[in-house]
Chain A
């Protein structure tokens, strides 16, 4: 078990250095000199250019630059935004709770609907429910979510007026945000209606972001359940005369969960990619929108740092899922 953890950790560090190398290379392969880009249209004097070159370390050999970058990263120094002049690290962690809140709500919705849908489909294999659920899952899986978001806005915000179009909180409310999670902060603020407003703002983005993971989880649960339901021990359970809900719910589902948990872990990348589109459409002030805005503003240190931090988040979640998986399923540990 210890060897398994050590081997996973060493892979993690190799990948981390590689990811750092890619984000380091980013600012050096973009067309144009980053310092001239930073100066904007006004340009700058030769002395100022050299001063900034020194400040950013561009006059050093590349290897030295990478070493400085890597040690900086490990100390939480990702440089400053060209636009706001604030450290990238601080900006990331100020916005991260917004993305985390949205992603958590989305994955909870996807699990809460996806697993029951998959189980119902598997138990009713070939019947109407199975066909209806799996057709919907395939449509969800094929959905261009940016279009889906626009459709929901047309119907629920435009025609019905039930939900707001953008943002995280109504303009009427203002309160401190110690946790960064609107659902919690609005409750802590004690302002009446603030929590409801937070929920209303969350509904549409959550549905949009949950769509693809929901479809994937439902499909995966169905196929895992079908595989398990044909096993001998299920037949034994049936022969013992156990109630169907007990067989499906306890005996089958528990063993079918292993591949489903993997899929849930893997959907972190999907969620973060989906957050780019969802946050842009709903003006949700999170990491995805921040990255897109920075790319358009040519705020290269932000793009560079954001890219690295997002990758590290994905890697950490994958590492945790891997280790949990090793704990649940001993066969994985010995596999190379």
Chain B
């Protein structure tokens, strides 16, 4: 008896969940680099009003297609050069970051909320309802995502908002499938059965008992769809079906600059580089999240 109490006292305290998560996450150096890059990009986007040297839409007609400062003909007035209409590239890129992060966040929130709800319902519902929901998701998944998004935007009319709605619909089935699979896995576990026996009602079982234990794969999926949303919105903008000019959205900027690719490398290279760095930093974080949250890879 005394032995047992001694053991209990001397056993090292288990680190908190967050501390444990951080320990695994920070082991992945790429993930930490990705996180810092992401944080800096978010900060730049938030502070665009203070950092940007010019407005995103002001046209300097005397300085069209001016190269970046380090190239001959460049000047500090326009550090990253100007576009064909004489707008400052740096300012447009900074304001463009706002659109990308905004789009990513809205899409993830809409797709995840809808997807988790449907997934929970499918996991707990009688078989016929489950079948109906999952067949619907199969149907959405039969269309290549970008094609379905394009057609939806053609129906709704080209705009940034409609592009976000379309991409949310396209990304949603992944959340439904993940949530449903996790719910079915958890539903028959002892702790759920005992909660049910203790008299917990269905909503409580769904949201309080089961959902928190299904979150790990969903969080990883959220990181993935954040970067997918940014890529897809940029692709729609590039095809002329997303944000409309003069919005400084990165994909739209690329589309506007296309005819100048052989004359002015910066109007094409810089917006694409901005997309790549943003998406890469999110994917690096996503890999770190997966390693930290996936219990199969945990060594303890």
Contact = CB atoms under 8 A, between A and B. Distances in A.
Interface of A: 11, 14-15, 18-19, 22, 26, 29-31, 135, 138-139, 141-144, 146-148, 150-151, 153-154, 158, 269-270, 272-274, 276-277, 280, 291-292, 295-296, 303, 307, 310-311, 314-315, 318
Interface string B264-275: 010011011001
B235 A314 contact: no
B269 A146 contact: no
Nearest to B142: A311
B151 A15 contact: no
B144 A144 contact: no
A318 B142 CA distance: 9
24 contacts: A15-B135, A15-B138, A18-B135, A18-B139, A19-B139, A30-B154, A138-B284, A141-B283, A142-B231, A142-B276, A146-B234, A147-B276, A150-B254, A151-B268, A154-B262, A158-B261, A269-B143, A272-B144, A273-B146, A277-B235, A292-B239, A295-B241, A303-B151, A310-B144
Nearest to B156: A31
Nearest to A148: B272
B238 interface: yes
Contacts of A296: 240
B119 to A, nearest CB: 17
B144 A154 contact: no
Given A144-B272, A277-B238, A314 B142 contact: yes
For this complex, into which size category does the number of interface residues on chain B fall? 35 or more
B111 interface: no
Contacts of B238: 146, 277
B197 interface: no
B145 interface: yes
Given A158-B261, A272-B147, 12 more contacts: A141-B283, A144-B234, A146-B254, A147-B272, A153-B261, A154-B265, A273-B145, A277-B146, A277-B238, A291-B147, A292-B239, A295-B150
A22 B231 CA distance: 25
A26 B283 CA distance: 34
A277 B147 CA distance: 10
Interface of B: 30, 135-136, 138-139, 141-148, 150-151, 154-155, 157, 227, 231, 234-235, 238-241, 251, 254, 258, 261-262, 265, 268-269, 271-272, 275-276, 279-280, 282-284, 287
A30 B155 contact: yes
A192 B135 CA distance: 52
Nearest to B268: A150
B154 A303 contact: yes
Contacts of B284: 138
Contacts of A270: 144
B155 A26 contact: yes
A150 B272 contact: yes
B279 to A, nearest CB: 4
A314 B136 contact: no
A292 B240 CA distance: 10
A303 B143 CA distance: 13
A310 B147 contact: yes
Contact of A147 (B142, B227, B268): B268
B154 A22 contact: no
Contacts of B155: 26, 29-31
**List of 6 A-B pairs having minimum Cβ-Cβ separation, nearest first:** A147-B272, A273-B144, A273-B146, A18-B139, A142-B279, A142-B280
B275 to A, nearest CB: 5
A139 B157 contact: no
Contacts of A272: 144, 147
A151 B271 CA distance: 12
B283 A138 contact: yes
A295 B146 CA distance: 13
B234 A292 contact: no
A118 B239 CA distance: 33
A294 B49 CA distance: 40
